[in-house]
Chains A and B, each alone.
Chain A
């Protein structure tokens, strides 16, 4: 799909973009919905919804095996989606893109198929203090299975990774480094390219959790020089239940399959099975074809709107939100790194985050409250929960004003 066919102009027009998202017309408690929970899951534009619907209405069958017309249409749609995703991630080779359920499955796949067969007792896996549970638990499981050790690199007081401390955590036994590109709880953008340089110098392989980066920035695995990169479609305006793992071809080709089944074989007898090459080797069973089509449509949408335009819009909104929220008495910002995606996490003094969330909801403002699936991070900050406003391309300054007004009501009610 080209920019012209999507009818999107070059100049960023937030009101026009809002019209792409039918759900934004929802009323909550009689007020217009103010959706500030994009880091949990973003809403979907018509361009994505239409792509999924037309796939089912016009092209659907199973992929890769049938010889009939629709089997061909479905296979082409699925593989074209792989091309779009590969190009969007900056992959050199389309065979390096594996469709998965999401970032969580991508990390589990790498943990079980790449890490588990080669880890020895005493080897180390290095992560950071701000990781989402999905980038902690799969590694803990593989540590349990192999006797490897999980090492955690600390943050500075603004919530940024301390590169000096990270370098000290890297050792001769570090086999894998796995870190978020962008923190879901704090918004911090991590210095992935530097981390990769340091890790490669020690001979470690680097996996990047890009779930929170995909909606905000141009992805480029070649520029980052990482070894694995994972994304979920649903945080980047695409459907749920689909994501992609990018991995270096030589690494993927050397890995055993993740699950067994159809699609992932070259030849099966009851005595033995010869596995297909990557990526088919890792895509057992009928894939989420419509999901892949929707994911590609979401990336097309991001490119048509323009990731640079989105970045600028979100940077302005983030600056405005940070300033306005800080002016509310009793607000304690959590996560103040200079390099951040559009996420504002905060505490309201004396009021639990869950109460803040409920009262804001009463005014139509949707924020996320809780530990954001980063309990170890919350423990290290000495807090149980924060309120988090995460901004997307369709959010406006008026919506930030509604949030601030909502926070005034929170304080009023608890006064």
Chain B
């Protein structure tokens, strides 16, 4: 049970039960949908970008505790970040989960709560689903839906 507490930390259970920024971003002008064929989970990420900065970000969809909490924590971490900073954060977050390189967990803030996923390789995709979807939304800059 102790090991499982490492995976299912309080902060993760909290964000699972009460996800933050669940819905559509105010003034959204970019979006993408992500799908995990392993479990059938779906997520939609919407972004409001202005002058290269994320003014608002939100997610929709339902999934497991790991994917939902990860999406919720991601939206919290991204507010006010530039596109480049967001991509950089994803890289460091991914390193945290795959254990490839030593990551300064303090820099990651609350996202570090997901470090327990390292010990569960089958669940890494759950934790990165929202982030991959974010990346797709950022990549779609040119043909993104515009509300302006």
Contacts and interface: CB of A to CB of B under 8 A. Distances in A.
Contacts of A409: 1, 4
Nearest to A384: B40
Contacts of A359: 4, 8
Interface stretch (B23-31, B60-68, B95-103, B130-138): B60-68
Given A370-B40, A385-B40, A413 B64 contact: no
Contact of B39 (A351, A362, A384, A413): A384
A413 B40 contact: no
A354 B3 contact: no
Contacts of B65: 351-352, 355, 414
A355 B1 contact: no
A371 B39 CA distance: 7
Contacts of B38: 370
B19 to A, nearest CB: 13
Given A409-B1, A414-B13, A355 B40 contact: no
A358 B123 contact: yes
Contacts of B120: 358
Interface residues of A, number: 19
A353 interface: yes
| Most chain B C-beta atoms within 10 Å of own C-beta, residue among A353, A358, A370 | A358
Given A354-B64, A355-B65, A358-B120, A384 B41 contact: yes
A120 interface: no
A351 B66 CA distance: 11
Interface in B22-64: 38-41, 62-64
Given A370-B38, A413-B13, A414-B65, 15 more contacts: A351-B65, A352-B63, A352-B64, A353-B39, A353-B64, A354-B64, A354-B66, A354-B123, A362-B3, A375-B40, A384-B39, A384-B62, A409-B1, A413-B8, A414-B8
Q: Which A-B residue pairs are the 10 nearest by beta carbons?
A: A352-B64, A354-B64, A384-B40, A362-B4, A355-B65, A355-B64, A371-B40, A354-B39, A370-B39, A385-B39
